[in-house]
Amino acid sequence: MVSSAQLERKAERARERLSDKLADLRYHVSPTTVMSDLLGVNPRDDVLPLLAKQARNNPIASLLIAAGVGWLIFSEVRGPISKTLGLTAPRRTAKRGRKKKRNARNSKAMAGSRSR
């Protein structure tokens, strides 16, 4: 039979392994590590020249990204794009209300004709 002291030691070892794995994960997911992995540069170096070089090498992609960021900023400042352009969604509730009334009238008429 397993004693409580053995269970405590086993739990402590499991905690230490988990702590080590979390520390390793924190290192690999840190912003500096991610940036160095993605861009292939040391994060302490200046990133702007690298970004400018990428923009020169891929002008269409850069313009699309800039347009998307600009649109995002514009929509945050002005509100939803549909309001900005004056577009509104069609009102479906009015149609549903009329349809329900029509169905209610038809069912009443049918009930009245059955009773006659």
Higher pLDDT, 84 or 27: 27
Give the integer Cα–Cα distance in Å for 63 and 71. 12
Tally of structural domains, the chain: 1
Q: Is residue 113 part of a domain?
A: no
Sign of CA dihedral 77, 78, 80, 81: negative
Q: Is residue 11 part of a domain?
A: yes
Residue-range definition of the domain harbouring residue 6: 1-44
**Tens digit of each residue's pLDDT (9 = 90 or more) over 5-64:** 999 999 999 999 999 999 888 887 877 777 777 767 666 667 778 778 888 999 999 999
Q: Is residue 49 part of a domain?
A: no
